[in-house]
Structure 1
Amino acid sequence: MSNTSAPERPQPGKGGKPTLAEFRAVAHPEGLLDRRSGEHWAGRIYMRRISSRVTRHLVDAPVSPNQLTWLMMLTGILAGAALLIPGLAGAVVAALLIQVYLGLDCVDGELARWRKQTSTTGVYLDRVGHYLSEAALLTGAGLRAADLFKVNGGTAWMWAFLGTLAALGAILIKAETDLVDVARIRRGLSAVDDSASVPRASGVARARKLASALKFHRLIGGVEASLVLLAAGIADAVHGDLLFTRIAVAVLAAIAVLQTVLHLLSIVLSSRLR
């Protein structure tokens, strides 16, 4: 959750640390939780409530916001690696690490706003962290489905390929969005406004609205994918094999490919590139 500018910082409460209300007034500026595409649903529902209680105790800690962003990145990558742990334990550890990743994604920006240390480097690292973490999780899911450490051999590498395909799709979808601003800025234009994201073609606009209502594309996001894989891991533990993890990987790969194409079309046919 990227760093943004903050209002004037108030004086801290007793004990040298700000009260929760004082901290949130700066760390959660007006409109933060209502951003159309910048705030994850888990952040709005529960993580911002947790993260702010943690971050206010870090205001004087010898750690920088960018260091926390690096830690966020590492945690997300480790979540993908955790899926290589056999059995239900791997899915559980991965889901827990993704929650820590999400928490750090909130904490780094909150600390930066409180200290007035928001930076272009912080925004850049935040984006790279999301690219790497989601790709690692989906790649790990594919390797898990391939039963990489199967004792008697016969690894089903098709599942590893599908996981990698899902990871590639997740990266491309983010890149398609970010490259809009790259293209505009290289032409000397300003960054795009939300209002320009509506497709000009009515048919594409209706398809985009339907996809937004169904929200199926969110399943390839880190939090959602980790929960899907956790549910599949539980089902596998009952069933006694990797059937449900393999179904999950195939579905995630299909969603990633479809969403990559649809997202690209929605951008090209919108006013964002005009």
Structure 2
Amino acid sequence: MPRPSVAELRPVVHPEGVKDRRSGEHWAGRLYMRELSLHIDPYLVNTRVTPNQLTYLMVVVGVLGGAALLIPGLSGAVLAAVLFQVYLLLDCVDGEVARWRGQTSITGVYLDRIGHYLCEAALLVGFGLRGADLFHQQGAQTNWMWAFLGTVAALGAILIKAETDLVDVARTRSGLPAVKDEASVPRSSGLALARRAAAALKFHRLVGGIEASLFILAVAVLDMLQGDLYFTRLGIAVLAGIAVLQTLLHLVSILASSRLK
């Protein structure tokens, strides 16, 4: 079959609403990655590579991004950031190939969600291990406290996603339709104001895979300039604190909204 053009692909793989999904589209996807993926799709849509295989590859790349942080110095952080850009690209491409072929499936959605859980957790655990100084770059022994805090951040990142996903699980098991966007607004005016403030600050995004990889790269640059792991360890503490706080705030937000009604 002839290779489709970008113009032919666009209306099929980017149907109306894809880039405007309130919680389903990453800002980097809207900003640049969806355009880049459109130029990758033509080389994949007529091959034997399946959308689920692309999702599996996405997971492998994301986990390798977390493992890359075990490489000391700036090179490990740069590699992790690059791998998470590839991870995001594959996250766009797998769904686009599925839409072009008419192969979207519940299995694909499930694998995609599991992949995000695993990869973002791997990145934050890798960040914690980086701060623990496994190879004794900054001391005579490994400081496992930083590995623990990295794991706390990873657990928080998973729980934040799980809290959102479990709303649909609870509604489905109760025979209710999928939640609408307006139901996410807290019934309390005070909580609604706090939610808008948190959304404006967007601090919670720092525990997401793309944002965290860029944050880790930034603190690695600062560490290189200073010659130690001070900023990495400070960053681990910051991400762990954000993850714990956001886990609690997100749970309260869900319980105080109409999403479970």
| TM tier relative to shorter chain | over 0.9
Q: Which residue of 2 aligns with 1:234?
A: 221
Do structure 1's residue 68 and structure 2's residue 57 form an aligned pair?
no
CA shift for structure 1 position 67? 0.3
For residue 26 of structure 2, the aligned residue among 18, 36, 40 is 40
Once residues 229 and 21 of structure 1 are traced to their aligned partners in structure 2, the CA distance between those partners, rounded to angstroms, is: 37
Once residues 205 and 21 of structure 1 are traced to their aligned partners in structure 2, the CA distance between those partners, rounded to angstroms, is: 42
CA shift for structure 1 position 193? 1.0
Do structure 1's residue 266 and structure 2's residue 253 form an aligned pair?
yes
- Farther off after superposition, 152-161 or 70-79: 152-161
Stretches of structure 2 lacking an aligned partner (at least 5 in a row)? none
CA shift for structure 1 position 149? 1.6
CA shift for structure 1 position 195? 1.2
Q: Which residue of 2 aligns with 1:210?
A: 197
Do structure 1's residue 143 and structure 2's residue 129 form an aligned pair?
yes
CA shift for structure 1 position 153? 3.4
Query: Superposition pairs for residues 1-274 of structure 1, below 5 Å?
Result: 16-150=2-136, 153-274=140-261
Once residues 124 and 145 of structure 1 are traced to their aligned partners in structure 2, the CA distance between those partners, rounded to angstroms, is: 32
TM-score by length of 2: 0.98
CA shift for structure 1 position 57? 1.6
- Specify the code of the residue in structure 2 equivalent to 1:212: A
| Secondary structure of the structure 1 residue equivalent to 2:19 | helix
Once residues 40 and 220 of structure 2 are traced to their aligned partners in structure 1, the CA distance between those partners, rounded to angstroms, is: 31
Q: Which residue of 2 aligns with 1:9?
A: none
CA shift for structure 1 position 246? 0.6
Once residues 218 and 64 of structure 1 are traced to their aligned partners in structure 2, the CA distance between those partners, rounded to angstroms, is: 30
Once residues 208 and 101 of structure 2 are traced to their aligned partners in structure 1, the CA distance between those partners, rounded to angstroms, is: 30
| Secondary structure of the structure 1 residue equivalent to 2:136 | coil
Once residues 173 and 140 of structure 2 are traced to their aligned partners in structure 1, the CA distance between those partners, rounded to angstroms, is: 51
| Secondary structure of the structure 2 residue equivalent to 1:33 | coil
Once residues 28 and 88 of structure 1 are traced to their aligned partners in structure 2, the CA distance between those partners, rounded to angstroms, is: 36
TM-score by length of 1: 0.93
Stretches of structure 1 lacking an aligned partner (at least 5 in a row)? 1-14
- Specify the code of the residue in structure 2 equivalent to 1:74: V
- Specify the code of the residue in structure 2 equivalent to 1:76: G
